[in-house]
């Protein structure tokens, strides 16, 4: 997982809980890399999981909620740092439908070693988008928060339901209805 994901995560933690929590997470989590993240470095996604476990112990907020909140925060950050990619899409479904074939393709050009999920897209009608997520990192809750962030960015309301297609969370079907 790219360092940029970790640096954004710590920025969110500092905003939400203050710098002491950043310090606590760094000191009390199992972090084989040593916990000094640079934006272009690459680290095991297990370190993110370990940071979430510590944050869950400290705050008692369930891990899926923490990861969804991070997804919403991250999308809002992407609207600043990757505005050139997001501005090409006129609405949320166009953006969400283009993640796999465009946005993450551009991300890979910037970071050749990025570990990106796979999305298959179906749009059965104007109001419904179906996203089939698959990834060995099982970060569906992050995807959920990113989808929420995208809907909010475009000022669109939708209900998002998720169906687990494999027990380990590596395959999830998201149905987004406007
Ligand atoms: C402009 C918009 C976006 C940009 C620039 C972007 C970029 C990235 C980057 C840099 C990573 C980290 C790769 C790594 O750590 O190696 C990532 C991972 C990820 N992205 Fe995107 N992304 C965008 C939109 C989205 C959206 C809207 C979704 C939700 C459907 C999404 C789903 C994910 C997920 C779930 C991961 C975690 C890795 C995994 O599950 O395997 N992304 N993305």
In-domain check, residue 12: yes
- Is the Cα torsion angle 48, 42, 112, 135 positive or negative in sign? negative
In-domain check, residue 75: no
Q: Are residues 96 and 168 in the same domain?
A: yes
Residue found under tokens 């969400």: 96
Q: Are residues 48 and 100 in the same domain?
A: no
In-domain check, residue 66: no
Q: What is the pLDDT of residue 34?
A: 94
Q: Are residues 96 and 170 in the same domain?
A: yes
Number of domains into which the chain is organized: 2
Q: In what order do the strands lie in the sheet with 171-177?
A: 118-125, 128-134, 171-177, 159-164
Q: Give 40's pLDDT tier (boundaries 50, 70, 90).
A: confident
In-domain check, residue 151: yes
CA atoms within 13 A on the CB side of 128: 9
C-beta separation of 119 from 132 below 8 A: yes
92 lines ligand 1 (CB under 6 A): no
pLDDT tens per residue, range 104-136: 999 999 999 999 999 999 999 999 999 999 999
Range(s) of the domain holding residue 11: 3-61
In-domain check, residue 83: no
Please give the distance, rounded to the nearest whole angstrom, from the Cα atom of residue 92 to the centre of ligand 1.
Answer: 15
Q: What is the pLDDT of residue 94?
A: 98
Q: Are residues 95 and 171 in the same domain?
A: yes
In-domain check, residue 85: no
pLDDT tens per residue, range 53-95: 999 999 999 999 999 999 999 999 999 999 999 999 999 999 9
SS3 assignment for 36-90: CCCCCCECCHHHHHHHHHHHHHHHCCCHHHHHHHHHHHHHHHHHHHCHHHHCCCC
22 lines ligand 1 (CB under 6 A): no
Q: Which residue's alpha carbon is nearest to atom 32 within ligand 1?
A: 143
Q: Are residues 116 and 169 in the same domain?
A: yes
Q: Which residue's alpha carbon is nearest to atom 30 within ligand 1?
A: 143
């Amino acid at each position: 997982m790219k360092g940029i994901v970790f640096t954004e995560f710590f920025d969110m933690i500092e905003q939400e809980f203050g710098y002491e929590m950043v310090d606590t997470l760094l000191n009390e989590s199992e972090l084989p890399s040593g916990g000094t993240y640079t934006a272009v470095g690459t680290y095991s996604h297990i370190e993110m999981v370990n940071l979430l476990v510590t944050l869950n112990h400290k705050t008692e907020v369930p891990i899926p909620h923490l990861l969804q909140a991070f997804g919403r925060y991250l999308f809002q950050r992407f609207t600043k740092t990757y505005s050139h990619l997001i501005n090409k899409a006129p609405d949320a479904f166009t953006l969400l439908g283009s993640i796999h074939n465009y946005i993450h393709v551009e991300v890979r050009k910037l970071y050749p070693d990025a570990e990106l999920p796979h999305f298959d897209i179906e749009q059965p009608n104007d109001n419904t988008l179906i996203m089939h997520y698959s990834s060995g990192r099982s970060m569906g809750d992050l995807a959920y928060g990113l989808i929420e962030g995208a809907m909010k960015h475009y000022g669109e309301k939708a209900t998002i339901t998720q169906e687990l297609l494999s027990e380990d969370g590596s395959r999830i079907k998201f149905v987004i209805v406007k």
